[in-house]
A and B are shown apart, each in its own frame.
Chain A
């Protein structure tokens, strides 16, 4: 039988456009990346400021200073992270099957999703670091409240904070997404094996450090890296998760 092969009717847009289309797909509901993280941050800020006001209205100046000091240990500044971790997981678990239904390739989907993660992480980092500066400049929003200038962001420059915030969010996104790709490819069995292996590796590492009495050395190494240096090392697991996720997803199939 001789057959003539039909020619494609439509020509796909160039790769860059296809990748950007995935960013647009993730932003089709703007709440996910733009709205909700800042609603959470705003809520955490309102609560932090309310606490600061309550303390100031009853405590002695001495105690207020102590309380302000204590607020620098609050994790309120990182409150949207837990939500963003879910966003990273769902970007694969839910948006991947959705995108494939639109005739998207896995490669384009992953590259576009990675670009979305990068834009969201850096964008949020720029704003959060600026809020750190504003908080410093206004002496705690005029009421001595502390939320952004806390934890390891204290005493760091604006650009250092942009870097650290970016790394933390990228880690949350890419590690969450990478674990979701394992599920997408190997389902429950993949999850079981992954968590088991991870637990064994962690226990093994703890055992190794403990048995060789190396905890002081490990602590000393981290202290020597400094905040920026320590987070710079964090880019290695982020890169590993990002690359691993890509190769796992290339052969994954959304199941019913």
Chain B
């Protein structure tokens, strides 16, 4: 594996507010990363720092071993589609798509045409008159058709309906399979993209909570359901990240891989074991962090 992006001690302050707090991670070439986290967690700021759109307060970012800031060698390999991308008032979708090939060396016109038809984007209307979803669709088309070696999607689905979102995920995976590239996708809709992601970086309040392989993460927690007493016995000594209960029944989520002996014990005790979806796991871990932060202060 070779590293495309390396962030070391990356920090970004806005006045007294620390949006990104001493973050270090690496991004490997030709994998799909999920940059997950709540609103205001610092996802967009991190992406802006990685693409040289913003300047770090301290720490370093290297892309292909160089700083991305004002660096055409790096930036000509980067496509950054953000939810908040502004388009000039005098620009129509056809102008955006006419301009894009100039800036992306791997631009594929066939793919762009195919996506245009699939997303039903009106070409001859001002960008500012398009619906939120149509503006997002233009961004998605540019992001996919640019086939940039490093592609950032910052919540690119805003306003897209379920059909269009699925289309985006399908096309991304399809094109990625044929033309591998490094993709960093930030999103709230974790369940929708969970099959897409190969690696997960979870951010909360500017810090990294999780930086791990997606497959590893998927098997890293289990929900145990059954009679409260049996459940309590089973989870003893394990790390509990969530508890729920009604009457004599409880449902407890524990972390850690379960051995086959564990599973056999669970069956013997009449307990049901359910896998935890990536989204549930992340919600649990994020809220755990919030509550422990709260109790500390």
Contact = CB atoms under 8 A, between A and B. Distances in A.
A136 interface: no
A5 B82 CA distance: 26
A105 B76 CA distance: 9
B80 A103 contact: yes
Interface stretch (A6-14, A51-59, A72-80): A6-14
Contacts of A104: 75, 103
A232 interface: no
A3 B6 contact: yes
B78 interface: yes
Interface in B88-108: 88-92, 95, 98-100, 102-106
B229 to A, nearest CB: 46
Given A6-B2, A32-B90, A97-B86, A102 B77 contact: no
B65 A12 contact: no
Given A29-B92, A250-B70, A7 B64 contact: yes
Interface residues of B, number: 50
A217 B104 CA distance: 58
Given A3-B3, A29-B90, A10 B105 contact: yes
Contacts, number: 117
Name the interface size band of chain A: 35 or more
A18 B72 contact: yes
Interface string B51-68: 111110000001011000
Given A12-B72, A106-B70, A254 B86 contact: yes
B210 interface: no
Interface stretch (A20-28, A113-121, A122-130): A20-28
Contact of B86 (A4, A12, A13, A98): A98
Most buried by B among A7, A11, A101, A254: A101
Interface of B: 1-4, 6, 26, 29, 44, 48, 51-55, 62, 64-65, 70-82, 84-92, 95, 98-100, 102-106, 148-149
11 contacts: A5-B4, A5-B62, A12-B72, A18-B72, A29-B91, A94-B88, A98-B87, A102-B103, A103-B104, A105-B72, A253-B48
